[in-house]
Amino acid sequence: MNPIRVVVWGENVHEHKNPKVAAVYPDGMHTTIAAGIRENSSAVEVTTATLQETDHGLTTERLAATDVLVWWGHMAHDKVEDRIVDRIQQRVLEGMGLIVLHSGHFAKIFKRLLGTSCALTWREADEKERLWVCNPGHPIARGIDKYFELPREEMYGEPFGIPAPDEQVFISWFEGGEVFRSGCCWHRGNGKIFYFRPGHETYPTYHDNNVRRVIANAVEWARPQGQWADVSHCPNVKTPPEPLAKKAD
Ligand code: ZN
């Protein structure tokens, strides 16, 4: 099997504005996320792209050669150009996998593909997060115990303004009592989408082995399968596969 061509996209803004974030992710969050995927999967070719590059690093040619795109964004969602969002949406419909992390719940591409508010409740108070596996047979939960914990994270709570997921893999519980659908799968066109909640920028979440494994599992799950259908137009098929009987007027 050919290696899965993965692009980890990072907004790459907090790392340069907040010394606390730079201390946790000195080479950028995208670099750490990419390293975690390489470490947990032998079948991948992982590169990174950032907001600041031409076309945010996502040219038509590069997206055409991408099997799975991993997305982390937060404070600069509005800086992502709509023409690039159009381009990513088209590729997902064709079959490219999309993994959206943490604050990416408000990314233009996520809201576009899901079509709902994607709003949630939140609190930044150094809380413990317990992520329960609610679908142990799912490939994204492979190698994960009944649950795992992150000692300090931002809280995200319900209601989460998403369409009902096609598959639910994780549910989070927080120290303060809230719960949240933290690992959700959807299909759009030929593409698979996975949303994974943890990853607030001031915490070392993407250094956590369980988190790294889940993202790598998700990449393998989301790789394109089968033949991509042409979704760009609606052909008028005047000649059917079987000849039509003459109809009486
Ligand atoms: Zn956050």
CATH 3.40.50.880 matches 4-115+184-222: yes
Report the predicted TM-score, pTM, of the whole model to 2 decimal places.
Answer: 0.95
Nearest by Cα to 123 from 149, 153, 145, 163: 153
Distance 153 CA to ligand 1 centre (A): 8
Classify residue 22 as exposed, middle or buried by CB count within 10 Å of its CB (0-12, 13-18, 19+): middle
What is the predicted pLDDT for the residue at 166? 98
How far does the centroid of ligand 1 lie from the alpha carbon of residue 47, in Å? 23
Distance, in Å, from the CA atom of 193 to the CA atom of 169, rounded to the nearest integer, reads: 13
103 CA → ligand 1 middle, Å = 5
C-alpha separations of 205 from 78, 144, 198, 235 in Å? 25, 16, 7, 47
**Cα 82 to middle of ligand 1, angstroms:** 23
Q: How far apart are CA 116 and CA 112, in angstroms?
A: 8
Q: Each residue's pLDDT tens digit in the chain (249 positions)?
A: 799 999 999 999 999 999 999 999 999 999 999 999 999 999 999 999 999 999 999 999 999 999 999 999 999 999 999 999 999 999 999 999 999 999 999 999 999 999 999 999 999 999 999 999 999 999 999 999 999 999 999 999 999 999 999 999 999 999 999 999 999 999 999 999 999 999 999 999 999 999 999 999 999 999 998 766 665 778 888 999 999 998 887
Compute CA 54 distance to the chain's CA centroid, rounded to the nearest angstrom.
22
Query: Domain segments of the chain: what residues?
Result: 4-115+184-222
Q: Which residue has the tokens 């899901």?
A: 114
How far, in Å, from the CA of 95 to the mean position of ligand 1?
Answer: 29
Q: What is the pLDDT of residue 229?
A: 64
